[in-house]
Amino acid sequence: MPYIKAMDTDAAAKQLAELGNPHRLEAFRLLVKAGEDGLTVGEIQEHLKIPGSTLSHHISHLVWADLVVQERQGRALRCRANFAAMHALIGFLADECCAGVTTSCDPAVRAKAASN
Tell me whether strands 68-73 and 39-40 are parallel, antiparallel or unpaired. unpaired
Q: Which of 14, 40, 77, 80 binds its own copies (CB under 8 A)?
A: 14
Q: Least distance to its own copies from the beta carbon of 75, Å?
A: 29
Binding mask 75-94 for DNA (x = CB under 7 A): xxx-----------------
Q: Closest Cα to residue 6, out of 92, 103, 78?
A: 92
**Where would I find the beta strands (DSSP E) of 1-116?**
39-40, 68-73, 76-81
Sheet of 68-73, strands arranged across: 39-40, 76-81, 68-73
User: By CB under 7 A, is residue 15 in contact with DNA?
Assistant: no
Q: Indicate the residue among 12 and 77 with the shorter CB distance to its own copies.
A: 12
* Amino acid (one-letter) located at 6: A
Name the 3-class secondary structure at 9. helix
Q: Which residue stretch of 36-44, 50-58, 72-80, 89-97 sits at the interface with its own copies (rule: CB under 8 A)? A: 89-97
34, 40, 66, 104: which one contacts its own copies (CB under 8 A)?
104
* Residues of the shown chain interacting with DNA in the complex, contacts defined by CB under 7 A: 17, 21, 23, 40-42, 45, 50-61, 70, 72, 74-77
